[in-house]
């Protein structure tokens, strides 16, 4: 996105200043995460929405700060997401909690959440504080829902979508809404962009989950099937459950044998499950696009539309 | 404290309503902690300060809500404090993370922190939001400082006090200050009660650490020497370090042998280290009392004075 390159560069600089912890351990735990993620999808969306709704397409200082805050919250949630149960060590992969340890990961996450609360309060907009603090309760709710359904072959697609909303889509929905609140947009506009963020977030999660099955480890930056290994049963697997009778047993055995993960991935690929998952992602992308295209066509909506369409290209 | 019994009863009722998570696991993780702690020392202090500074000694709805919020934050910090490193499993004691597991403990803590942010925002006072969000960054800072000095026999009493400020006293200091902000007190009063809370919090921590050495397991609700086992070197041990030459070696070996903890406790008891730690606690209690007694003597300060004095009785 050429039009927001300057803003994204500035965001990276500011993030490093914002998380300046006095403590070297907290600092390095946080810093390595800021370096790791380069995509900045959440800030990009906030910037593009700002350009659509703001006068003269100028992104306000508060909206830029909001973008930084959402990135800090996202990073904090990643750190806490990486903490594993003691019993799960054998399945452990190389994550922050391995490089440092569980305790430091908990604290680094708390520290980032707290820093984000501080900057949030300093935006001096209570409505935004309320909207954004909802993200973290939803995230915890989603994580627990996911944990409760771990290796549960009875999981339904509806439960999967609900969990995905709490865990992923709420952050985007609330961030998009907060962007409009900072522009003093009316309730209708606020609600439009909340729904846009919600559908985009759900599509985003489903696409990520498809890539965990169809992607190559080198592209993913983690082994394919990582979700399965951790008992996180996602859309492609859920759709395959009805057609492959061996699957429930392998799930109930928690993919006991080394080959089970590859076997499962191959089984899923032989069904139409991935296509069904793609259909869900496409449906949510269409719903998101519908909002931007029909209601905000009089403004500079092109870049956001392109970004939204392009999400689907990741799985094509 | 007879005069605030009604308020404390109502607080207990409200806490259960406030943490009503949709999810049964989050709910039980949070609930068991609310049931565990009966003392409600932080809310008590907020109520008593409110009675000193408010007109007609009536505690406002916002101050009651603040008391609830600080108790939720305190509980969240306890949950995260209980999460252990994987490497520390052999030292593990029966804590939330054992009953549930690390992951659930992280999420339950996040959920409580997030709930407190939400209620905080709904107090509609940005100055209070800023003051209280400082607590959580300080807590993480203190925990990491403590972790970095784990089993470090070179730790100084100054480092111990600094860590105790971040980990414990900041919560009380900021809560006391926020109580005065909600009463629209001037900056001088705000600062007085910040300092009162800070000194009380430091005394509180030192006393707790003395009890970990001198107390009986049945009174403590956990084994004596728990801090030592976890490598958390506290005032009584630090003062004993200079006089007992065997201590540094036992610390460096991380109390390798089962008897080492009892030996260490007995060694400390034979020195004047506990008395020196008591002196520090008393000094901070005196500083706290000085503020209340001299500056707020024209108001109803008796109960807060009694509470402050009585803290010392715990170690007599």
- How many other CB atoms are found less than 10 A from the CB of residue B89? 11
Q: Is the pLDDT assigned to residue B182 strictly greater than 90?
A: yes
Tens digits of per-residue pLDDT, B280-300?
A: 999 999 999 999 998 888 778
- What is the percent of chain B with per-residue pLDDT over 90, rounded to a whole number? 49
Average pLDDT over residues A274-289: 97
Q: Among A4-8, A209-213, B13-17, B206-210, where is mean pLDDT lowest?
A: B13-17
**CATH value at residue B94:** 1.10.600.10
Task: Map A195-262 to HEC letters.
Answer: HHHHHHHHHHHHHHHHHHHHCCHHHHCCCCCHHHHCCCCCHHHHHHCCCCCCHHHHHHCCCCCCCHHH
- The reply to whether residue B115 touches residue A129, judged by beta carbons under 8 angstroms, is no
- Closest-CA distance, B256 to chain A, in angstroms, reads 21
Which pLDDT score is estimated for A81? 80
Task: Identify from A140, A174, A181 which residue to disrupt to test chain B contact, counting B C-beta atoms within 10 A and taking the largest count.
Answer: A140
Distance CA B20, CA B266 (A): 46
Q: Which residue has the higher pLDDT, A230 or B197?
A: B197
Tens digits of per-residue pLDDT, B217-264?
A: 767 777 788 888 888 899 999 999 988 888 898 888 888 777 888 899
Distance CA A108, CA A27 (A): 8
Q: Which residue has the higher pLDDT, B102 or B9?
A: B9
Q: Which residue has the higher pLDDT, B152 or B92?
A: B152
Take residue B265 and report the two structure tokens written for it. Answer: 């406790």
Q: Among A76-85, B5-14, B32-41, B293-302, where is mean pLDDT lowest?
A: B32-41
Collect all residues of chain A within an 8 Å Cβ-Cβ radius of residue B87: 101
Tens digits of per-residue pLDDT, B155-180?
A: 999 999 999 999 999 999 999 999 99
Distance CA B277, CA A295 (A): 68
Task: Identify from B22, B72, B105, B114 which residue to disrupt to test chain A contact, counting A C-beta atoms within 10 A and taking the largest count.
Answer: B114
pLDDT band at residue B91 using 50, 70 and 90 as cut-offs: very low
Averaged pLDDT of chain B: 86
Q: Is the pLDDT assigned to residue A86 strictly greater than 60?
A: no
Q: Is the pLDDT assigned to residue A170 strictly greater than 70?
A: yes
In this structure, chain B runs to a length of 316
pLDDT band at residue A10 using 50, 70 and 90 as cut-offs: very high
**Least CB–CB distance from A144: residue in B25, B113, B136:** B25
Residue B146 CA: distances (Å) to CA of A163, B96, B149, B242, B247:
36, 20, 5, 21, 19
Structural domain total, chain A: 1
- Closest-CA distance, B149 to chain A, in angstroms, reads 12
Closest chain A residue to B110 measured between Cα atoms? A140
- The reply to whether residue A124 touches residue B122, judged by beta carbons under 8 angstroms, is no
With beta carbons less than 8 A apart as the criterion, state whether B215 and B234 touch: no
Distance CA B140, CA A305 (A): 41
pLDDT band at residue B85 using 50, 70 and 90 as cut-offs: low
Task: Identify from A28, A77, A102 which residue to disrupt to test chain B contact, counting B C-beta atoms within 10 A and taking the largest count.
Answer: A102
- For residue B243, what are the domain limits? 2-313
Tens digits of per-residue pLDDT, A288-312?
A: 999 999 888 877 899 999 999 998 8
Average pLDDT over residues A235-255: 89
Take residue A172 and report the two structure tokens written for it. Answer: 């985007």
Maximum Cα interatomic distance, chain A, rounded to a whole number of Å:
59
Q: ipTM of this predicted complex?
A: 0.81
Collect all residues of chain A within an 8 Å Cβ-Cβ radius of residue B136: 110-111, 113-114, 117
């Amino acid at each position: 996105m050429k039009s927001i390159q300057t803003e994204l560069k500035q965001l990276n600089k500011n993030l490093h200043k914002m998380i300046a912890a006095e403590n070297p351990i907290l600092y390095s735990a946080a810093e390595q995460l800021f370096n790791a993620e380069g995509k900045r999808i959440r800030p990009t969306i906030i910037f593009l929405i700002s350009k659509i709704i703001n006068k003269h397409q100028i992104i306000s200082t508060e909206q830029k700060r909001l973008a930084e805050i959402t990135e800090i919250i996202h990073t904090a949630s990643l750190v806490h997401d990486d903490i594993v149960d003691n019993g799960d060590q054998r399945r452990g992969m190389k994550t922050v909690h391995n490089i440092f340890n569980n305790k430091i990961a908990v604290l680094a996450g708390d520290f980032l959440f707290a820093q984000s609360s501080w900057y949030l309060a300093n935006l001096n907009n209570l409505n935004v504080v309320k909207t954004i603090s909802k993200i973290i309760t939803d995230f915890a709710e989603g994580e627990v829902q996911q944990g409760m359904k771990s290796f549960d072959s009875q999981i339904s697609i509806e439960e999967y979508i609900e969990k995905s909303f709490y865990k992923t889509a709420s952050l985007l929905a609330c961030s998009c809404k907060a962007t409009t609140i900072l522009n003093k947009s009316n309730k209708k506009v606020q609600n439009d962009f909340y729904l846009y963020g919600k559908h985009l977030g759900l599509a985003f999660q489903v696409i990520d989950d498809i890539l965990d099955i169809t992607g190559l480890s080198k592209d993913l930056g983690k082994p394919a099937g990582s979700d399965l290994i951790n008992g996180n049963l996602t859309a492609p697997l859920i759709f395959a459950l009805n057609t492959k009778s061996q699957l429930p047993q392998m799930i109930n055995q928690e993919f006991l044998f080394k080959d089970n993960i590859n076997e499962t991935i191959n089984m899923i690929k032989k069904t139409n499950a991935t296509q069904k998952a793609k259909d869900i992602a496409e449906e949510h992308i269409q719903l998101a696009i519908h909002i931007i295209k029909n209601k905000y066509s009089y403004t500079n909506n092109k870049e956001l539309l392109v970004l939204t369409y392009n999400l689907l290209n990741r799985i094509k």
